[in-house]
Amino acid sequence: MITPLKFYEIFEEKKGKRRKLFTKNLVRGRQVYGEKLVRDKGVEFREWNPSKSKPAAAIMKGLNQFGLKPGDKVLYLGASSGTTVSHFSDIVGEKGMIFALDFAPRVVRDLVMLCEVRKNLAPLLENAFKVDDYKDKIIHPVDFLFQDIAQKNQAEIFMRNVDAFLKKGGYCHLAVKSRSVDVTKKPGKVFNEVKAFLRERVEIVDYRELGPFEKDHAYFVCKKR
Amino acid sequence: MKDFKELRKKLIEETKKKIKASVKKDNLIIQAVNSIDEADRAANTLAKRLREWYSFYLPEFSNSIASHQKFAELILKKSKKELLAEIKLSPEKSMGADLEKEDLDAMFELAKALGGLYNYKEKELKYLEAAAKKHCPNVTALAGHLIAAKLISLAGSLEKLSAMPSSTIQLLGAEKALFRHLTTGAKSPKYGILHEHPLILNAKKSEHGRIARLLADKIAIAAKVDFFKGDFVGDRLKKEIEKRIKGDIEKNSRGNSKGRAK
């Protein structure tokens, strides 16, 4: 049986100890990355795989707040080929809009194809560090900002975009890959440094480490002051 | 909401154009060199299978010939009798079984496919040589077209390669060893993909690190010249390397004898 979670438009199914996450499929009958489609009482759900998507992993690890709701305007940095973006697109629904940004032409190729199928997605092939390059191309302020960019200065990139585009009180999520920040340091130390950096600038409402779904990754849920 | 509809359309169009424009010669060279690598690996796997298979029929022949390519060619061209004569073995002494024609034909299909694969590799190498000479003449002059292409592949593009310091170029392809060194304090690697270079292959083991460093230095210069479309300086750089290697060795041996005299 598929039941709603406490977050908007995110569902779960419990079978013994196993727990699976789902979102309602916005485009019926279509898979995005080979995930399972499940019908329940006439509604089609897509399985949200926590090993392939960091927000799903964070929810599995017991996130208390998520903050994404139907109709939101979203800026998604580091969209890649659109695995996680597709689930966000399910959640915000037809009235929402997502600007999905990535810098690598190869993955944006797949992303564009996804955007053509899903009416609430718009692609951007830009460098997330150069905020001025795309500030005129998106509708801002946005209600929700997500970043998953494995870069050395990813926290700095995150804050730049939060400052430039997020509305006051809006939620912003950051997935940190400690090995991209500094391979020689222990992950916990890197996470603490990022935490200290963020604490001065935004309100951190939740923090999770993503093992065993993703190795050496941490997930921050923040709110703009 | 209406704004978004139009904006989305515009952005999809714009992104498509950008993706179209992002395809460069680099990408093609990278695909070609990776394809050659994979063809190599596939050919090796298939060749091992073919030898195993053929050895039921004529086990003594497989060991007599080292080259997979020649092996595949010969078993197609010559009969069992001719091959036995070639390794000077009388048919009675062979451990091979007599196989029926349909069984042999199945095996020969694999030999043909393998021959095709080697053929493909040769053609691709020729393309790569011409492309590398045109795209990055200086790096190619120093490192050869295969290593030049692999360097571009590892760096991501000629632009990225040209922006790299020589120390990074020296260790391209040795990332695993480098990060092992950084995280656990194991020995640092001396070279990555450059170890395939004839200058290093032919040198004494104690000289490997020094030559790799020298090569990487000059390749870093060459990459910059290539990316900014400068004049051809590959020959000069190569001569400098060779001179330095010679000089270093002489200096070194003199230094050593002094050391011993004390």
- Position B259 confidence tier, pLDDT thresholds 50, 70, 90: very low
Say what percent of chain B tops pLDDT 70: 94
Does pLDDT of B258 surpass 60? no
C-alpha closest to that of A174 among A98, A153, A105: A153
Q: Is A181 an interface residue toward B (CB < 8 Å)?
A: no
CB contacts of A121 in chain B (<8 Å) are 8
As a whole number, mean pLDDT of residues A166-185 equals 93
Does pLDDT of A220 surpass 60? yes
pLDDT in tens, A116-127: 999 999 999 999
DSSP B162-222: HTS-HHHHHTTT-HHHHHHHHHH--PPPS-SGGGGSHHHHTS-GGGHHHHHHHHHHHHHHH
Q: With b meaning 16 or more CB within 10 Å and e meaning fewer, what string describes A174-200? A: bbbbbbbbeeeeebeebbebbeeebee
Average pLDDT, chain A: 93
* Structure tokens that stand for B202 in this block: 């032919």
pLDDT score recorded for residue A193: 94
Q: Is A107 an interface residue toward B (CB < 8 Å)?
A: no
pLDDT score recorded for residue B1: 61
Domain boundaries, chain B: 19-135, 137-257
pLDDT score recorded for residue B2: 67
Does pLDDT of B257 surpass 70? no
Bond before A105 cis per omega within 30 degrees: no
Sheet holding A97-102, edge to edge: A121-125, A97-102, A73-77, A142-147, A166-177, A217-223, A203-209
pLDDT score recorded for residue B90: 84
β-strand A97-102 against A142-147: which pairing, if any? unpaired
Instruction: Write down the residue that tokens 């990278």 correspond to.
Output: B30
Of B5, B15, B183, the CB nearest to A123: B15
pLDDT in tens, A198-217: 999 999 999 999 989 999 99
Residues A23, A50 contacting (CB under 8 angstroms): no
Task: Give the closest-approach CA distance of B176 to chain A in angstroms.
Answer: 12
pLDDT score recorded for residue B262: 35
Residues A219, A174 contacting (CB under 8 angstroms): yes
Task: Give the closest-approach CA distance of B29 to chain A in angstroms.
Answer: 16
pLDDT in tens, A129-143: 999 999 999 998 999
Instruction: Write down the residue that tokens 């759900």 correspond to.
Output: A45
Helical segments of A76-186, H only = 83-92, 105-117, 131-134, 154-165, 178-181
CB contacts of B23 in chain A (<8 Å) are 105
Residue scoring higher pLDDT (B256 or A139): A139
CATH class of B137-257: mainly alpha
pLDDT score recorded for residue B6: 92
Average pLDDT, chain B: 90
* Cβ partners under 8 Å of residue A71, min gap 6: A92, A93, A95, A96
CB contacts of A116 in chain B (<8 Å) are 12
Does pLDDT of A57 surpass 90? yes
For chain A, counts of helices (H) and of strands (E): 7, 12
Cβ <8 Å between B4 and A105: no
Q: How far apart are the C-alpha atoms of B152 and B145, rounded to whole Å?
A: 11
Q: What is the complex's ipTM, to 2 decimals?
A: 0.90
- Position B183 confidence tier, pLDDT thresholds 50, 70, 90: confident
Cβ <8 Å between A124 and B183: no
Does pLDDT of B256 surpass 60? no
As a whole number, mean pLDDT of residues B24-28 equals 93
Residues A224, A170 contacting (CB under 8 angstroms): yes
* Structure tokens that stand for B23 in this block: 């395809």
As a whole number, mean pLDDT of residues B83-91 equals 86
**CATH 3.30.420.130 corresponds to the domain B19-135:** no
Q: How far apart are the C-alpha atoms of B21 and B14, rounded to whole Å?
A: 11
Radius of gyration of chain A (CA): 17
Q: Is A124 an interface residue toward B (CB < 8 Å)?
A: yes
pLDDT score recorded for residue A215: 92
What is the 8-class DSSP label of residue B98?
P
Cβ <8 Å between A112 and B16: yes
pLDDT score recorded for residue B260: 42
Collapsing DSSP states into helix, strand and coil, what is residue A31? coil
Task: Give the closest-approach CA distance of B259 to chain A in angstroms.
Answer: 39
Taking CA–CA distances from A95, the nearest residue in chain B reads: B1
Does pLDDT of A1 surpass 70? yes
Instruction: Write down the residue that tokens 């991501």 correspond to.
Output: B156
pLDDT score recorded for residue B158: 95
Collapsing DSSP states into helix, strand and coil, what is residue A198? helix
Does pLDDT of A174 surpass 90? yes
Does pLDDT of B261 surpass 50? no
Residues B64, B107 contacting (CB under 8 angstroms): no
As a whole number, mean pLDDT of residues B53-71 equals 91
β-strand A166-177 against A142-147: which pairing, if any? parallel
Across the A/B interface, how many CB contacts are shorter than 8 Å? 48
Angle subtended by helix axes B145-155 and B101-135, to nearest 10: 80
Task: Give the closest-approach CA distance of A166 to chain B in angstroms.
Answer: 17
Instruction: Write down the residue that tokens 């013994």 correspond to.
Output: A16
Collapsing DSSP states into helix, strand and coil, what is residue B3? helix
pLDDT score recorded for residue A100: 95
pLDDT in tens, A22-42: 999 999 999 999 999 999 888
Centroid of chain to Cα A186: 25
* Structure tokens that stand for B221 in this block: 């210069």
Q: How far apart are the C-alpha atoms of B76 and B24, rounded to whole Å?
A: 41
Cβ burial of A81 (10 Å; 0-12, 13-18, 19+) is buried
pTM for this model (two decimals)? 0.84
